[in-house]
Chain A
């Protein structure tokens, strides 16, 4: 009996090892282990075996079965591997074929630049607010120390709706709205659209954007103004950026300054980008004029503050090296896609 089992085993293993496809292997398995298989047959013939031999033979049969099953399993696994390998081989692709991109839209360079600026100032505790674009003369001029007949009114070439209502020429009026709310301290950033009667060309547009900043608190100093804006310039244009403050004049700040940043293209040595200057003018700023504070109901003896105004388009044009302002309002998709 043992010999017979050995024989079955030897033959089965040989057959299995020769077998090359799954169907054949199934046949072999059924032929040996199936209900009518050889090994099953032996088990069925146990009734003819002497009862005292049965355990011995049963053990032999089980061992044989286990051995065959193990080989079968291995064979199955190997064949599966082969099939997968063949499949993988057949599925090789040219990875350099073009990508399938879902097309996402692009943000306007102005908006990207604005978000950058907002991020920086929000980090410093500034609240971003808005004011009306069609504005009262009072907020655009008078409350900013620009009374009727002030030459600055002419300089800014204002669009008027009527004698009292105009298109704001600067976001500075939002300062006044914010101060009038009477909630101190103030740290605000007010971006928005402004309008001036400039004909459209590569560097002018009758409609553009400014970002106004205002800080009012006790003990705010010009040194704070310098420190804040230097920080801003570094964040926006890179850690190596240097700043220079030059005295200037704005009716609603005193002292006033213009801030230049070291040219981020050449680092300050002078290039075509900065017209050989090494510096680029970036914003106007100053300490809020005591009279402006007073007009808005803030006691200049107790509080002081600084304000600044940045041209958003100027930042966008500089940062992204856009050479013509008109591109910003044409909305050509080939332009917008570059941001």
Chain B
């Protein structure tokens, strides 16, 4: 008889709920008659993400003491549960944003199936506890995202975005895999805990492997200098996909980066804190400077997401409990801001039937007061203004760096924030402060019908980004509980 490991099904429930939704959606894409397909697929996908959200909340509540499950291949702890929770939340908003998109009728079922599958992969990825499940989870959600990028192949650039993301993403995965092989060679172990237990700091195999693992994960979190795919993929992909990629992928990649570094390589902390700090500085510098010259709003937001990857790597470089808390907290408003900003871009895109640039955003806030005010909120949030969670997020990230004694990281962060004011406020200026001569109004009769789903998604994002400023304490408590799972 084959000895089978005990499987804790409840711990896997967020992944399984989304996987089930993906399976049902693929069947529905064939069985449900075409007129009902769009609404029913969106409903099932939304239900899948909602179920994953509920399961993640229950899991976070019922796993106060983290431990490994399924033959030590996965972790059941609050760090993973809270990350799955944020990913599922991003998925719900992504479904709301996707609903009004003019998908090719034939592909709508497959689109939602892939979205659910990407979410399932991320929920799996964040609970990985050895190098093999890490790689499996990474590829699981990446392959789904490659197809999602290219799914709307009538759109100019969608195929190009998909191919570019696939090639660079695959190189990133291969780097991570080779790094994993070297770490395995250096320690003879694949489990994070056992790698830490076997640690020999000066083994060259282990050190080179660690560097390649960091680089592979940095590809996924689109941190500079591994960000070159980000602007192209974000610009070319359908906007709802970009919204999901920019938020959920970043959550998964950053949360896992912290977990891998803290759990598997505590003895090499002197090495990786410097490496991560270097990547953070490069991301903040390159992201913010490159965003200054962009006219296309999606491309500008892509560079802004590179710079935010840098801001969120600061707490990882700090490598202390405050940093872990800061990362989890920061991810919540960041996801809301990013999803919301891309949702507004999607709304304007549907109105104009053309890519959104700073020029055709002129006067938008007077035409659509709610969307305009929401977009202004998101821009101020990205900038880190008080009254949005972005302020508290940056504050905590800098506090973690200060506690580590690296005040120069704060200097870089503040300088980056000042530079970023130019392009974030540029959007606000374009929406509110253009005189009548500059306005390019949408052609009469060209406006699409009101999209209640998108409006609800934007309202949710505004509520979370402002709410996370006022409800700091409960969220910090959640982040504190999650951070206790890491050995920091």
Is B a genuine binding partner of A?
Answer: no
